[in-house]
Structure 1
Amino acid sequence: MTETVSTEHPHEPHADLSGKLNWLRAGVLGANDGIVSVAGIVVGVAGATTDSTTIATAGIAGLVAGALSMAGGEYVSVSTQRDTERAQLRLEERELKEMPEAEERELAEIYEQKGLSPELAAEVARELTEKDALQAHAEAELGIDPGRLTSPWQAAWASLVAFTVGASLPLSAIVWTSTSARVWACAAAVVAGLALTGIVSAKLGDARAGRAIARNVGVGALTMLVTYYVGVLSGTTVG
């Protein structure tokens, strides 16, 4: 009985799914950071003053600064990662040109370690190398798809949008609510937003939603509590 080996890349759909999940996780983290950061700012300022303009100005400044910081950080981080991946690909390409036989044996050994027989591993390595040597070796050895390198600009925009959406929740709640209820309205909005991001992050990580929600809400509540009383003390001192 002859064993047939497909030269298609069976892991490409999985790689696409993994990439999408990574973007979703980054978006959830960005939104979560926006909610907690700006909630801390506006609640802290609300503890020091009841002036709506001052609170709104502080919240907007925090939103803009945080969103740009997140976007810039993601751009720098992903750019560094992309530069590293390109350097690894250049090295792999040079090795394929200078010592193709050794590289093919190395690829076969990788498939042997995954459980294939030496004969089948050698056949797989040969066929994949003949089809697209760089693609086959980059995916197997480096875990990199040369045609799908991460985009710094996509990462930056995703972080900027996610942070802005998350930050808008506590900012809107505290600005558009009466003075007597604004802190409680902001707290309710934050709890709802963090509960939602907790549920999404739990589903993405195949974990228990209750634990993720409790963790998110606990961090947000502690942040608002501390910053509120810092604001109260600051307002009292200044007054």
Structure 2
Amino acid sequence: MEQDLLVVKLKCSPFKLQRLYLPSSLAPQESGKHAVVELNDSSSFICRIFHDDLLQSDCCLLEKSVQCSSSSTASNERVKVSKINFIPFVKPIRSIKVTVVLNEIEQFTKWNDHNRLYPSLLKQLLQLFVINTRATVNLKDFQAAQKLGVYALHIKDIGIPHTGRVVSSTKVVIHEVTSWERYSLKLEKKDVRIAGNQQAYEQLKKYVSSRGLLRTNKLANDFDFSQLMLIGPGGSGKKTLVEKLLKNSTLF
């Protein structure tokens, strides 16, 4: 759907799906449908289409701005709608599984401390997007997500074959919480079991290998060299380090 309408942007809450109000003379049968709206400043938005009898034929209103792609022009330029792509088969999602991809490993501690609060905030974020099965919602430039330390959300399974949308009644299940470093290696099908911990793994392997020599030393009478404590935030890879060591070692 090609349009040449002057856009008036209205700022509103970032936790609600935005709306695009069109003159009532334009395709009234499309009212209420979801669409991706492209503007002539190279920005695009996900929104729902509605009509307003008070609007002039060459003007539209865009509110609750949630950008899909950023604008490349100055804010004082006259922006117009260049294209409206309607999204078919959008249905409310009953339940959804997501992999939460954090910016950094260090943010696991913050996540674990607030793990009861975050799912509800993630649901609010997901209500802004129309989602496809196995889609990745990139949140790296979204201010509300940055406060949570979330880089992206990967949709694991929404249980329906068509495009859907998260609503207030949707059950959000956190399938996995990982860091961007580990997740990117997983996408590249590399060994993510020790992603970012190769140096720690080599040091641990060296210690275990030398344990047999320590047993012959007289210091072994005073110290138990068979015990080792790994300290680090949740999700940093302590368990996977030990699992990989046990799998590859013949000393146990």
> Shorter-chain TM-score category?
under 0.3
Where is the strand percentage greater, Structure 1 or Structure 2? 2
With CA pairs under 8 Å and 6+ residues apart, which has the higher RCO, 1 or 2? 1
TM (normalized to structure 2)? 0.22
Where is the helix percentage greater, Structure 1 or Structure 2? 1
TM (normalized to structure 1)? 0.23
